[in-house]
Protein backbone atom coordinates (compact mmCIF):
# COMPACT_ATOMS: atom_id res chain seq x y z
CA UNK A 1 0.00 0.00 0.00
CA UNK A 2 1.10 3.52 -0.70
CA UNK A 3 -0.55 5.83 1.83
CA UNK A 4 -2.28 3.32 4.08
CA UNK A 5 -5.52 5.34 4.02
CA UNK A 6 -8.87 3.70 3.25
CA UNK A 7 -12.12 5.68 3.19
CA UNK A 8 -15.40 3.93 3.99
CA UNK A 9 -18.73 5.28 2.75
CA UNK A 10 -22.34 4.51 3.69
CA UNK A 11 -25.08 6.30 1.76
CA UNK A 12 -28.37 6.30 -0.16
CA UNK A 13 -30.67 4.77 2.48
CA UNK A 14 -30.41 6.60 5.80
CA UNK A 15 -27.69 7.91 8.14
CA UNK A 16 -25.01 8.42 5.49
CA UNK A 17 -21.49 8.63 6.86
CA UNK A 18 -17.79 8.54 6.04
CA UNK A 19 -14.90 7.03 7.99
CA UNK A 20 -11.16 7.12 7.38
CA UNK A 21 -8.67 4.52 8.59
CA UNK A 22 -4.88 4.79 8.33
CA UNK A 23 -1.85 2.90 9.57
CA UNK A 24 -2.37 4.37 13.07
CA UNK A 25 -6.01 3.34 13.29
CA UNK A 26 -9.22 5.35 12.92
CA UNK A 27 -8.45 8.89 11.80
CA UNK A 28 -11.97 10.31 11.64
CA UNK A 29 -15.62 9.37 11.23
CA UNK A 30 -18.79 11.45 10.96
CA UNK A 31 -22.38 11.37 9.79
CA UNK A 32 -23.48 13.63 6.96
CA UNK A 33 -26.51 14.86 8.91
CA UNK A 34 -24.27 16.75 11.32
CA UNK A 35 -23.04 19.01 8.51
CA UNK A 36 -26.19 19.41 6.42
CA UNK A 37 -28.49 19.59 9.49
CA UNK A 38 -30.89 17.17 7.77
CA UNK A 39 -31.88 14.45 10.23
CA UNK A 40 -30.83 11.01 8.96
CA UNK A 41 -29.48 12.51 5.72
CA UNK A 42 -29.28 9.74 3.11
CA UNK A 43 -27.39 11.64 0.43
CA UNK A 44 -23.78 11.07 -0.51
CA UNK A 45 -21.70 12.11 2.53
CA UNK A 46 -19.70 14.76 0.74
CA UNK A 47 -19.17 16.97 3.78
CA UNK A 48 -18.37 14.05 6.07
CA UNK A 49 -15.86 12.63 3.58
CA UNK A 50 -14.27 16.03 3.09
CA UNK A 51 -13.95 16.41 6.84
CA UNK A 52 -12.30 12.97 7.19
CA UNK A 53 -9.77 13.77 4.48
CA UNK A 54 -9.02 17.17 6.00
CA UNK A 55 -8.42 15.58 9.40
CA UNK A 56 -5.63 13.51 7.81
CA UNK A 57 -4.40 16.39 5.69
CA UNK A 58 -4.86 14.45 2.44
CA UNK A 59 -6.99 14.55 -0.69
CA UNK A 60 -9.03 11.75 -2.22
CA UNK A 61 -6.18 11.13 -4.67
CA UNK A 62 -4.00 10.04 -1.74
CA UNK A 63 -6.35 7.18 -0.78
CA UNK A 64 -5.47 3.56 -1.40
CA UNK A 65 -9.17 2.80 -1.82
CA UNK A 66 -12.72 3.89 -1.20
CA UNK A 67 -15.02 1.13 0.05
CA UNK A 68 -18.82 1.29 -0.14
CA UNK A 69 -20.66 -0.44 2.69
CA UNK A 70 -22.92 -2.67 0.61
CA UNK A 71 -23.38 -4.11 -2.88
CA UNK A 72 -26.09 -2.22 -4.78
CA UNK A 73 -26.54 -4.86 -7.48
CA UNK A 74 -27.23 -7.57 -4.91
CA UNK A 75 -29.67 -5.28 -3.16
CA UNK A 76 -31.47 -4.53 -6.42
CA UNK A 77 -31.62 -8.28 -7.08
CA UNK A 78 -33.45 -8.75 -3.78
CA UNK A 79 -35.80 -5.86 -4.55
CA UNK A 80 -36.60 -7.20 -8.02
CA UNK A 81 -37.05 -10.82 -6.91
CA UNK A 82 -39.34 -9.72 -4.10
CA UNK A 83 -41.58 -7.72 -6.41
CA UNK A 84 -41.73 -10.56 -8.93
CA UNK A 85 -42.59 -13.01 -6.16
CA UNK A 86 -45.59 -11.01 -4.95
CA UNK A 87 -46.73 -9.42 -8.26
CA UNK A 88 -49.05 -7.74 -9.02
CA UNK A 89 -49.25 -6.67 -5.38
CA UNK A 90 -46.68 -4.02 -4.69
CA UNK A 91 -46.83 -2.39 -8.11
CA UNK A 92 -47.27 1.08 -6.61
CA UNK A 93 -44.21 0.62 -4.43
CA UNK A 94 -42.16 -0.70 -7.34
CA UNK A 95 -43.13 2.30 -9.45
CA UNK A 96 -41.72 4.52 -6.71
CA UNK A 97 -38.63 2.51 -5.84
CA UNK A 98 -37.67 1.18 -9.27
CA UNK A 99 -36.82 4.50 -10.94
CA UNK A 100 -34.93 5.60 -7.82
CA UNK A 101 -32.77 2.50 -7.97
CA UNK A 102 -32.21 2.86 -11.70
CA UNK A 103 -31.41 6.56 -11.48
CA UNK A 104 -29.32 6.66 -8.31
CA UNK A 105 -28.41 3.48 -6.49
CA UNK A 106 -27.40 1.36 -9.47
CA UNK A 107 -25.05 4.17 -10.42
CA UNK A 108 -23.35 4.30 -7.04
CA UNK A 109 -19.89 4.33 -8.63
CA UNK A 110 -20.70 7.48 -10.56
CA UNK A 111 -22.10 9.17 -7.47
CA UNK A 112 -19.21 8.11 -5.24
CA UNK A 113 -16.55 9.26 -7.64
CA UNK A 114 -18.42 12.49 -8.34
CA UNK A 115 -19.02 13.14 -4.66
CA UNK A 116 -15.28 12.85 -4.10
CA UNK A 117 -14.52 15.44 -6.81
CA UNK A 118 -13.74 12.97 -9.55
CA UNK A 119 -11.88 10.37 -7.51
CA UNK A 120 -10.22 8.03 -10.01
CA UNK A 121 -8.68 5.45 -7.68
CA UNK A 122 -9.72 2.02 -6.50
CA UNK A 123 -13.38 1.60 -5.55
CA UNK A 124 -14.45 -1.54 -3.67
CA UNK A 125 -17.73 -2.90 -2.33
CA UNK A 126 -18.33 -4.83 0.89
CA UNK A 127 -21.55 -6.63 1.76
CA UNK A 128 -23.87 -4.85 4.18
CA UNK A 129 -23.59 -7.29 7.08
CA UNK A 130 -19.91 -7.81 6.39
CA UNK A 131 -19.51 -4.07 7.01
CA UNK A 132 -21.52 -4.33 10.24
CA UNK A 133 -19.45 -7.31 11.40
CA UNK A 134 -16.19 -5.54 10.60
CA UNK A 135 -17.30 -2.43 12.50
CA UNK A 136 -18.04 -4.66 15.49
CA UNK A 137 -14.92 -6.82 15.54
CA UNK A 138 -11.96 -4.82 14.26
CA UNK A 139 -12.16 -1.84 16.66
CA UNK A 140 -13.12 -4.07 19.60
CA UNK A 141 -10.69 -4.77 22.45
CA UNK A 142 -10.67 -8.51 21.60
CA UNK A 143 -8.11 -10.42 19.54
CA UNK A 144 -10.66 -13.21 19.06
CA UNK A 145 -14.45 -13.06 19.33
CA UNK A 146 -17.80 -14.25 18.08
CA UNK A 147 -19.63 -11.61 16.04
CA UNK A 148 -23.40 -11.07 15.90
CA UNK A 149 -25.07 -8.57 13.56
CA UNK A 150 -28.83 -7.90 13.50
CA UNK A 151 -30.72 -5.21 11.59
CA UNK A 152 -33.59 -4.67 9.16
CA UNK A 153 -32.03 -5.97 5.97
CA UNK A 154 -28.89 -5.53 3.91
CA UNK A 155 -28.69 -7.15 0.49
CA UNK A 156 -30.40 -10.36 1.63
CA UNK A 157 -29.14 -10.97 5.15
CA UNK A 158 -31.03 -9.67 8.18
CA UNK A 159 -28.75 -11.23 10.83
CA UNK A 160 -25.38 -12.97 10.75
CA UNK A 161 -23.09 -14.90 13.06
CA UNK A 162 -19.36 -14.79 12.45
CA UNK A 163 -15.99 -15.15 14.08
CA UNK A 164 -13.00 -12.84 14.17
CA UNK A 165 -9.43 -13.95 14.81
CA UNK A 166 -6.55 -11.56 14.36
CA UNK A 167 -7.02 -9.88 10.97
CA UNK A 168 -9.44 -12.58 9.76
CA UNK A 169 -13.21 -12.18 9.88
CA UNK A 170 -15.55 -14.88 8.60
CA UNK A 171 -19.34 -14.92 8.51
CA UNK A 172 -20.63 -18.42 9.28
CA UNK A 173 -24.42 -18.24 9.17
CA UNK A 174 -27.11 -15.80 8.17
CA UNK A 175 -30.86 -15.21 8.46
CA UNK A 176 -32.36 -13.90 5.22
CA UNK A 177 -35.08 -11.49 4.15
CA UNK A 178 -38.04 -11.29 4.63
CA UNK A 179 -37.51 -12.78 8.10
CA UNK A 180 -36.04 -9.94 10.11
CA UNK A 181 -36.00 -8.97 13.78
CA UNK A 182 -35.21 -5.39 12.81
CA UNK A 183 -38.20 -5.20 10.47
CA UNK A 184 -40.46 -6.82 13.08
CA UNK A 185 -39.42 -4.16 15.61
CA UNK A 186 -39.86 -1.43 12.97
CA UNK A 187 -43.34 -2.76 12.17
CA UNK A 188 -44.33 -2.17 15.79
CA UNK A 189 -42.58 1.20 15.71
CA UNK A 190 -44.73 2.15 12.72
CA UNK A 191 -47.95 0.78 14.21
CA UNK A 192 -47.48 2.67 17.48
CA UNK A 193 -47.16 5.93 15.56
CA UNK A 194 -43.41 6.52 15.49
CA UNK A 195 -41.12 6.99 12.51
CA UNK A 196 -39.30 3.93 11.18
CA UNK A 197 -35.48 4.09 11.38
CA UNK A 198 -35.56 6.72 14.12
CA UNK A 199 -38.53 6.00 16.37
CA UNK A 200 -37.28 2.61 17.56
CA UNK A 201 -35.62 4.38 20.51
CA UNK A 202 -39.02 5.76 21.47
CA UNK A 203 -40.61 2.32 21.30
CA UNK A 204 -37.93 0.93 23.61
CA UNK A 205 -38.48 3.85 26.01
CA UNK A 206 -42.23 3.33 25.96
CA UNK A 207 -42.03 -0.41 26.70
CA UNK A 208 -41.74 -0.16 30.52
CA UNK A 209 -45.10 1.64 30.67
CA UNK A 210 -46.96 -1.32 29.17
CA UNK A 211 -47.73 -4.93 29.90
CA UNK A 212 -46.54 -7.62 27.46
CA UNK A 213 -50.05 -8.92 26.83
CA UNK A 214 -49.43 -9.43 23.10
CA UNK A 215 -46.40 -11.73 23.42
CA UNK A 216 -48.38 -14.92 22.95
CA UNK A 217 -50.16 -13.37 19.98
CA UNK A 218 -46.82 -12.50 18.36
CA UNK A 219 -45.50 -16.02 18.81
CA UNK A 220 -48.68 -17.77 17.74
CA UNK A 221 -49.47 -15.61 14.70
CA UNK A 222 -46.42 -13.62 13.56
CA UNK A 223 -43.24 -15.44 14.51
CA UNK A 224 -42.14 -19.08 14.45
CA UNK A 225 -39.07 -18.89 16.68
CA UNK A 226 -36.54 -21.69 16.95
CA UNK A 227 -34.05 -22.51 19.69
CA UNK A 228 -31.09 -21.13 17.74
CA UNK A 229 -32.76 -17.71 17.37
CA UNK A 230 -33.68 -18.21 13.72
CA UNK A 231 -37.33 -17.72 12.84
CA UNK A 232 -39.83 -17.29 10.06
CA UNK A 233 -42.46 -14.54 9.90
CA UNK A 234 -45.99 -14.85 8.57
CA UNK A 235 -45.95 -12.26 5.80
CA UNK A 236 -49.73 -12.09 5.65
CA UNK A 237 -49.55 -9.51 8.44
CA UNK A 238 -46.87 -7.26 6.93
CA UNK A 239 -46.67 -4.98 3.93
CA UNK A 240 -42.97 -4.09 3.82
CA UNK A 241 -42.15 -6.48 0.97
CA UNK A 242 -44.25 -4.73 -1.62
CA UNK A 243 -46.30 -2.01 0.01
CA UNK A 244 -45.88 1.52 1.20
CA UNK A 245 -46.56 0.61 4.86
CA UNK A 246 -44.91 -1.69 7.36
CA UNK A 247 -48.16 -3.34 8.43
CA UNK A 248 -51.56 -4.08 6.87
CA UNK A 249 -55.21 -4.62 7.77
CA UNK A 250 -54.56 -8.15 9.01
CA UNK A 251 -52.06 -6.66 11.47
CA UNK A 252 -54.68 -4.03 12.40
CA UNK A 253 -57.18 -6.74 13.26
CA UNK A 254 -54.63 -8.76 15.20
CA UNK A 255 -53.58 -5.80 17.35
CA UNK A 256 -56.93 -4.19 18.03
CA UNK A 257 -56.93 -1.34 15.53
CA UNK A 258 -55.06 0.67 12.90
CA UNK A 259 -51.72 2.41 13.50
CA UNK A 260 -51.73 5.35 15.88
CA UNK A 261 -51.50 8.60 13.99
CA UNK A 262 -48.27 10.49 14.74
CA UNK A 263 -48.75 13.04 17.53
CA UNK A 264 -52.06 11.44 18.58
CA UNK A 265 -52.34 10.55 22.29
CA UNK A 266 -50.51 7.38 23.29
CA UNK A 267 -52.93 4.81 24.68
CA UNK A 268 -52.47 1.68 26.77
CA UNK A 269 -52.57 -0.35 23.56
CA UNK A 270 -49.40 1.30 22.24
CA UNK A 271 -47.68 0.84 25.60
CA UNK A 272 -48.60 -2.84 25.64
CA UNK A 273 -47.47 -3.34 22.05
CA UNK A 274 -44.12 -1.75 22.89
CA UNK A 275 -43.72 -3.96 25.97
CA UNK A 276 -44.63 -7.08 24.00
CA UNK A 277 -42.29 -6.63 21.04
CA UNK A 278 -39.48 -5.66 23.42
CA UNK A 279 -39.88 -8.98 25.26
CA UNK A 280 -39.78 -10.82 21.94
CA UNK A 281 -36.73 -8.86 20.78
CA UNK A 282 -34.84 -9.74 23.94
CA UNK A 283 -35.78 -13.40 23.61
CA UNK A 284 -34.57 -13.57 20.02
CA UNK A 285 -31.30 -11.78 20.80
CA UNK A 286 -30.59 -14.12 23.71
CA UNK A 287 -31.25 -17.18 21.55
CA UNK A 288 -29.12 -15.90 18.68
CA UNK A 289 -26.28 -15.09 21.04
CA UNK A 290 -26.55 -18.50 22.68
CA UNK A 291 -26.29 -20.13 19.27
CA UNK A 292 -23.29 -17.95 18.40
CA UNK A 293 -21.59 -19.10 21.60
CA UNK A 294 -22.23 -22.75 20.83
CA UNK A 295 -21.17 -22.35 17.22
CA UNK A 296 -17.89 -20.55 17.88
CA UNK A 297 -16.98 -21.76 21.37
CA UNK A 298 -15.61 -18.29 22.14
CA UNK A 299 -16.13 -16.40 25.42
CA UNK A 300 -16.35 -12.88 23.94
CA UNK A 301 -18.94 -11.32 21.65
CA UNK A 302 -18.98 -8.26 19.36
CA UNK A 303 -22.25 -6.79 18.10
CA UNK A 304 -23.45 -4.33 15.46
CA UNK A 305 -26.47 -3.61 13.29
CA UNK A 306 -29.41 -1.43 14.28
CA UNK A 307 -30.85 -3.97 16.72
CA UNK A 308 -27.54 -3.88 18.62
CA UNK A 309 -28.60 -0.39 19.76
CA UNK A 310 -31.37 -2.00 21.83
CA UNK A 311 -29.61 -1.40 25.12
CA UNK A 312 -32.26 -3.23 27.15
CA UNK A 313 -31.66 -6.44 25.20
CA UNK A 314 -27.90 -5.92 25.50
CA UNK A 315 -28.21 -5.51 29.26
CA UNK A 316 -30.09 -8.78 29.59
CA UNK A 317 -27.53 -10.51 27.38
CA UNK A 318 -24.71 -9.22 29.57
CA UNK A 319 -26.45 -10.46 32.73
CA UNK A 320 -27.99 -13.72 31.50
CA UNK A 321 -26.08 -14.75 28.39
CA UNK A 322 -23.17 -17.14 27.97
CA UNK A 323 -20.48 -14.57 27.09
CA UNK A 324 -17.98 -13.28 29.62
CA UNK A 325 -17.51 -9.99 27.74
CA UNK A 326 -19.58 -8.11 25.17
CA UNK A 327 -18.54 -5.14 23.06
CA UNK A 328 -21.11 -3.22 21.03
CA UNK A 329 -20.11 -0.85 18.22
CA UNK A 330 -21.40 2.58 19.37
CA UNK A 331 -22.33 3.51 15.77
CA UNK A 332 -24.06 0.17 15.32
CA UNK A 333 -26.47 1.33 12.61
CA UNK A 334 -25.83 2.14 8.98
CA UNK A 335 -23.52 5.05 9.80
CA UNK A 336 -21.14 2.58 11.40
CA UNK A 337 -21.23 0.60 8.16
CA UNK A 338 -18.89 3.21 6.72
CA UNK A 339 -16.31 2.38 9.36
CA UNK A 340 -16.79 -1.35 8.82
CA UNK A 341 -16.38 -0.92 5.06
CA UNK A 342 -13.05 0.81 5.58
CA UNK A 343 -11.92 -2.06 7.80
CA UNK A 344 -13.01 -4.61 5.17
CA UNK A 345 -10.89 -2.83 2.60
CA UNK A 346 -7.90 -2.63 4.88
CA UNK A 347 -7.89 -6.18 6.27
CA UNK A 348 -9.66 -8.26 3.63
CA UNK A 349 -8.68 -6.62 0.37
CA UNK A 350 -5.23 -5.27 1.26
CA UNK A 351 -4.55 -8.02 3.84
CA UNK A 352 -3.07 -5.65 6.39
CA UNK A 353 -2.25 -7.07 9.81
CA UNK A 354 -4.40 -6.12 12.78
CA UNK A 355 -2.32 -4.81 15.70
CA UNK A 356 -2.87 -6.51 19.04
CA UNK A 357 -5.75 -4.62 20.70
CA UNK A 358 -4.91 -2.22 23.52
CA UNK A 359 -8.43 -1.41 24.61
CA UNK A 360 -11.01 -0.59 21.98
CA UNK A 361 -9.94 1.48 18.99
CA UNK A 362 -12.93 3.82 18.89
CA UNK A 363 -11.19 6.53 20.94
CA UNK A 364 -14.32 7.03 23.06
CA UNK A 365 -16.16 7.60 19.73
CA UNK A 366 -14.71 11.13 19.66
CA UNK A 367 -13.93 10.98 15.96
CA UNK A 368 -15.61 14.11 14.58
CA UNK A 369 -14.61 17.76 14.14
CA UNK A 370 -13.17 19.91 16.92
CA UNK A 371 -13.02 23.72 17.03
CA UNK A 372 -10.36 25.82 18.70
CA UNK A 373 -10.96 28.81 20.97
CA UNK A 374 -10.48 31.34 18.17
CA UNK A 375 -13.12 29.68 15.97
CA UNK A 376 -15.56 29.55 18.90
CA UNK A 377 -14.89 33.17 19.85
CA UNK A 378 -15.44 34.32 16.26
CA UNK A 379 -18.80 32.53 16.17
CA UNK A 380 -19.95 33.99 19.49
CA UNK A 381 -18.92 37.48 18.42
CA UNK A 382 -20.71 37.12 15.08
CA UNK A 383 -23.95 36.08 16.81
CA UNK A 384 -23.87 38.92 19.33
CA UNK A 385 -23.52 36.55 22.27
CA UNK A 386 -22.36 37.84 25.64
CA UNK A 387 -19.86 35.46 27.16
CA UNK A 388 -17.06 35.09 29.67
CA UNK A 389 -13.68 33.48 29.20
CA UNK A 390 -13.43 30.85 31.95
CA UNK A 391 -10.17 29.23 30.89
CA UNK A 392 -8.67 30.30 34.22
CA UNK A 393 -11.42 28.87 36.41
CA UNK A 394 -11.74 25.83 34.14
CA UNK A 395 -14.78 25.04 31.96
CA UNK A 396 -15.37 21.76 33.83
CA UNK A 397 -15.60 23.47 37.22
CA UNK A 398 -17.81 26.22 35.85
CA UNK A 399 -20.17 23.71 34.27
CA UNK A 400 -20.30 21.63 37.45
CA UNK A 401 -21.12 24.69 39.54
CA UNK A 402 -23.93 25.72 37.20
CA UNK A 403 -25.39 22.20 37.23
CA UNK A 404 -25.19 21.95 41.02
CA UNK A 405 -27.14 25.22 41.17
CA UNK A 406 -29.98 23.52 39.29
CA UNK A 407 -29.20 24.74 35.80
CA UNK A 408 -29.36 22.79 32.54
CA UNK A 409 -26.14 23.27 30.62
CA UNK A 410 -25.12 22.76 27.01
CA UNK A 411 -21.62 21.24 26.97
CA UNK A 412 -19.55 21.59 23.77
CA UNK A 413 -15.95 20.42 23.99
CA UNK A 414 -13.39 18.68 21.78
CA UNK A 415 -14.17 16.30 18.94
CA UNK A 416 -17.77 15.43 18.11
CA UNK A 417 -19.05 11.91 18.78
CA UNK A 418 -19.60 9.35 16.02
CA UNK A 419 -22.87 7.48 16.35
CA UNK A 420 -26.33 8.29 17.70
CA UNK A 421 -25.32 9.05 21.29
CA UNK A 422 -23.89 12.19 22.87
CA UNK A 423 -21.08 10.94 25.07
CA UNK A 424 -19.77 14.08 26.69
CA UNK A 425 -18.63 16.24 23.77
CA UNK A 426 -21.96 17.54 22.38
CA UNK A 427 -24.17 17.00 25.43
CA UNK A 428 -26.86 18.61 27.54
CA UNK A 429 -26.03 18.05 31.21
CA UNK A 430 -28.13 18.34 34.37
CA UNK A 431 -28.51 17.19 37.98
CA UNK A 432 -29.98 13.66 38.12
CA UNK A 433 -31.19 14.12 41.72
CA UNK A 434 -33.89 16.59 40.70
CA UNK A 435 -37.20 14.70 40.22
CA UNK A 436 -38.51 17.44 37.88
CA UNK A 437 -35.50 17.36 35.58
CA UNK A 438 -36.71 14.69 33.15
CA UNK A 439 -39.94 16.52 32.37
CA UNK A 440 -38.22 19.89 32.28
CA UNK A 441 -35.63 18.85 29.71
CA UNK A 442 -38.09 16.88 27.58
CA UNK A 443 -40.73 19.59 27.40
CA UNK A 444 -38.83 22.89 27.57
CA UNK A 445 -35.49 22.06 25.98
CA UNK A 446 -35.75 18.97 23.79
CA UNK A 447 -39.43 19.60 22.82
CA UNK A 448 -40.17 15.87 22.78
CA UNK A 449 -42.40 13.27 24.42
CA UNK A 450 -42.37 13.52 28.21
CA UNK A 451 -41.88 9.78 28.73
CA UNK A 452 -38.50 9.72 26.95
CA UNK A 453 -35.83 8.59 29.43
CA UNK A 454 -32.38 10.08 29.96
CA UNK A 455 -29.06 8.38 30.48
CA UNK A 456 -26.76 8.74 33.48
CA UNK A 457 -23.07 9.36 32.93
CA UNK A 458 -21.18 8.02 35.94
CA UNK A 459 -17.55 8.05 36.93
CA UNK A 460 -16.27 4.61 35.96
CA UNK A 461 -14.58 4.16 39.31
CA UNK A 462 -17.85 4.90 41.16
CA UNK A 463 -20.24 2.82 39.01
CA UNK A 464 -20.85 0.18 41.68
CA UNK A 465 -22.03 2.85 44.14
CA UNK A 466 -25.11 3.49 42.01
CA UNK A 467 -25.61 0.58 39.62
CA UNK A 468 -25.56 -3.21 39.69
CA UNK A 469 -23.24 -3.45 36.72
CA UNK A 470 -20.06 -5.26 35.89
CA UNK A 471 -19.97 -4.11 32.25
CA UNK A 472 -17.66 -1.41 30.97
CA UNK A 473 -20.20 0.80 29.18
CA UNK A 474 -18.62 3.93 27.70
CA UNK A 475 -21.13 4.12 24.83
CA UNK A 476 -24.58 3.88 26.46
CA UNK A 477 -25.15 0.46 24.91
CA UNK A 478 -26.29 -1.36 28.07
CA UNK A 479 -29.24 -0.91 30.39
CA UNK A 480 -28.43 -2.08 33.93
CA UNK A 481 -30.27 -2.17 37.28
CA UNK A 482 -30.00 0.75 39.66
CA UNK A 483 -28.42 -0.42 42.92
CA UNK A 484 -30.91 -1.55 45.56
CA UNK A 485 -29.48 0.95 48.04
CA UNK A 486 -30.43 3.82 45.73
CA UNK A 487 -34.03 2.79 45.04
CA UNK A 488 -37.18 4.49 46.35
CA UNK A 489 -40.83 3.47 46.09
CA UNK A 490 -42.58 6.47 44.61
CA UNK A 491 -45.37 4.92 42.53
CA UNK A 492 -48.21 6.31 44.68
CA UNK A 493 -50.82 4.49 42.61
CA UNK A 494 -50.06 6.26 39.34
CA UNK A 495 -50.93 4.54 36.05
CA UNK A 496 -50.00 5.04 32.41
CA UNK A 497 -47.60 7.75 31.27
CA UNK A 498 -47.98 9.85 34.47
CA UNK A 499 -45.92 7.12 36.16
CA UNK A 500 -42.90 8.87 34.68
CA UNK A 501 -43.13 11.40 37.52
CA UNK A 502 -42.76 8.79 40.25
CA UNK A 503 -39.51 9.03 42.24
CA UNK A 504 -37.82 5.62 42.04
CA UNK A 505 -34.33 6.38 43.29
CA UNK A 506 -32.13 9.15 44.61
CA UNK A 507 -31.22 9.83 40.96
CA UNK A 508 -34.82 9.93 39.68
CA UNK A 509 -34.10 11.85 36.46
CA UNK A 510 -32.23 8.84 35.03
CA UNK A 511 -34.07 5.90 36.62
CA UNK A 512 -36.54 3.99 34.43
CA UNK A 513 -39.86 2.61 35.64
CA UNK A 514 -38.28 -0.80 36.21
CA UNK A 515 -35.42 0.61 38.31
CA UNK A 516 -32.92 0.42 35.47
CA UNK A 517 -30.77 2.94 33.60
CA UNK A 518 -28.90 3.15 30.29
CA UNK A 519 -25.51 3.99 31.71
CA UNK A 520 -22.37 5.59 30.36
CA UNK A 521 -19.27 4.80 32.39
CA UNK A 522 -16.75 7.62 32.05
CA UNK A 523 -13.07 6.81 32.57
CA UNK A 524 -10.49 9.58 32.84
CA UNK A 525 -8.15 7.96 30.33
CA UNK A 526 -10.94 7.74 27.73
CA UNK A 527 -12.60 11.14 28.08
CA UNK A 528 -10.67 13.37 30.50
CA UNK A 529 -12.62 16.60 29.91
CA UNK A 530 -15.98 14.98 30.60
CA UNK A 531 -14.56 13.05 33.55
CA UNK A 532 -13.48 16.38 35.01
CA UNK A 533 -17.04 17.76 34.86
CA UNK A 534 -18.53 14.77 36.67
CA UNK A 535 -15.68 14.74 39.21
CA UNK A 536 -16.21 18.42 39.94
CA UNK A 537 -19.95 17.87 40.34
CA UNK A 538 -19.19 14.94 42.69
CA UNK A 539 -16.94 17.15 44.81
CA UNK A 540 -19.74 19.68 45.19
CA UNK A 541 -22.64 17.30 45.74
CA UNK A 542 -21.33 13.85 46.61
CA UNK A 543 -23.02 12.50 43.48
CA UNK A 544 -20.74 11.12 40.72
CA UNK A 545 -23.58 11.01 38.17
CA UNK A 546 -24.94 13.50 35.63
CA UNK A 547 -27.92 13.51 33.31
CA UNK A 548 -26.43 13.33 29.83
CA UNK A 549 -28.60 13.77 26.75
CA UNK A 550 -27.77 14.76 23.21
CA UNK A 551 -27.27 18.44 22.40
CA UNK A 552 -30.15 18.92 19.97
CA UNK A 553 -33.89 19.40 19.84
CA UNK A 554 -36.46 16.96 18.53
CA UNK A 555 -36.19 16.40 14.79
CA UNK A 556 -32.68 17.85 14.45
CA UNK A 557 -29.26 16.18 14.44
CA UNK A 558 -26.86 16.59 17.32
CA UNK A 559 -24.97 19.87 17.03
CA UNK A 560 -21.65 19.83 15.22
CA UNK A 561 -20.27 23.37 15.04
CA UNK A 562 -20.15 26.32 17.47
CA UNK A 563 -22.80 27.97 15.28
CA UNK A 564 -25.09 24.93 15.71
CA UNK A 565 -24.53 24.95 19.47
CA UNK A 566 -25.35 28.62 19.92
CA UNK A 567 -28.40 28.38 17.65
CA UNK A 568 -29.72 25.45 19.71
CA UNK A 569 -29.02 27.36 22.94
CA UNK A 570 -30.91 30.35 21.56
CA UNK A 571 -33.98 28.31 20.53
CA UNK A 572 -34.37 26.45 23.83
CA UNK A 573 -34.58 27.06 27.56
CA UNK A 574 -31.02 26.02 28.23
CA UNK A 575 -29.70 28.04 31.17
CA UNK A 576 -26.10 28.16 30.02
CA UNK A 577 -23.70 27.05 27.31
CA UNK A 578 -20.16 26.02 28.18
CA UNK A 579 -18.39 26.00 24.84
CA UNK A 580 -14.64 25.58 24.67
CA UNK A 581 -13.14 27.99 27.23
CA UNK A 582 -16.24 30.23 27.27
CA UNK A 583 -19.52 30.30 29.14
CA UNK A 584 -22.71 31.88 27.80
CA UNK A 585 -25.39 32.53 30.47
CA UNK A 586 -28.97 32.99 29.31
CA UNK A 587 -29.74 35.71 31.83
CA UNK A 588 -26.97 37.89 30.41
CA UNK A 589 -28.05 37.73 26.77
CA UNK A 590 -29.74 40.37 24.66
CA UNK A 591 -33.15 38.94 23.82
CA UNK A 592 -33.17 40.36 20.30
CA UNK A 593 -29.81 38.72 19.57
CA UNK A 594 -31.09 35.42 20.97
CA UNK A 595 -34.23 35.59 18.83
CA UNK A 596 -32.22 36.37 15.71
CA UNK A 597 -29.80 33.51 16.36
CA UNK A 598 -32.62 31.09 17.03
CA UNK A 599 -34.39 32.03 13.84
CA UNK A 600 -31.35 31.68 11.61
CA UNK A 601 -30.57 28.34 10.02
CA UNK A 602 -27.73 26.53 11.72
CA UNK A 603 -26.82 24.71 8.50
CA UNK A 604 -23.14 24.88 7.67
CA UNK A 605 -20.82 22.87 5.48
CA UNK A 606 -17.08 22.61 5.18
CA UNK A 607 -16.82 24.32 1.79
| Catalytically annotated residues | 14
| pLDDT tens-place string over residues 212-232 | 999 999 999 999 999 999 999
pLDDT the model gives residue 607: 29
Interacting residues of 334 by C-beta distance below 8 A, sequence separation 6+: 10, 13, 14, 15, 16, 17, 69, 151, 306
Positions in the chain whose pLDDT score sits under 70: 1-2, 76, 82-106, 243-244, 490-495, 600-607
CA distances from 254 to 117, 212, 567, 589, 601 (A): 52, 15, 46, 55, 45
Domains of the chain, CATH where assigned: 6-138+332-363 (3.30.420.40), 181-327 (3.30.420.40), 373-599 (3.90.870.20)
Please indicate, yes or no, whether the overall pTM of this predicted structure exceeds 0.85.
yes
Interacting residues of 491 by C-beta distance below 8 A, sequence separation 6+: 499, 502
Using a CB cutoff of 8 Å and minimum separation of 24, what contacts does 449-452 make? Answer: 449/202, 449/266, 450/497, 450/500, 451/205, 451/206, 451/209, 451/266, 451/497, 451/500, 452/202, 452/205
SS3 for 184-216, per residue? HHHHHHHHCCCCCCCCHHHHHHHHHHCCCCCHH
Give dist(CA 461, CA 592) in Å, integer. Answer: 45
Give dist(CA 456, CA 468) in Å, integer. Answer: 14
| Ramachandran angles phi, psi of 431, nearest 5° | -80, 120
SS3 for 443-511, per residue? HHCCCCCCCCCCEEEEEHHHHHHHECCCCCCCCCCEEEEECHHHECCCCCCCCCHHHHHCCCECCHHHC
Amino acid sequence: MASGYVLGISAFYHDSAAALIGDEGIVAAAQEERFTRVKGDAGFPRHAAQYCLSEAGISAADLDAVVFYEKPLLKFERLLETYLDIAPRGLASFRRAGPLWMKERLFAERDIRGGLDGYAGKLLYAEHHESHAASAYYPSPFDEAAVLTIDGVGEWATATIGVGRGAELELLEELRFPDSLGLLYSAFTYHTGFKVNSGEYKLMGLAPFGKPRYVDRIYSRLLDLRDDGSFSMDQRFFDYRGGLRMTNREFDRLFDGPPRQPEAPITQREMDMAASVQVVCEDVVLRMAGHAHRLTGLPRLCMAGGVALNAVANGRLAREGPFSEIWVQPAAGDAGGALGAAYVGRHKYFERARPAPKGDAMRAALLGPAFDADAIRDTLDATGARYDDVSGAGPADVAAELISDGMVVGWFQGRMEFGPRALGARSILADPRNPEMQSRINQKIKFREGFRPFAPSVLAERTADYFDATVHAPYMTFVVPVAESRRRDGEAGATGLPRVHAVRSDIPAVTHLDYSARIQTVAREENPAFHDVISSFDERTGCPVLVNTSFNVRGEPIVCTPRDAYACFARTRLDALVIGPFVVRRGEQDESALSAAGARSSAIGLD
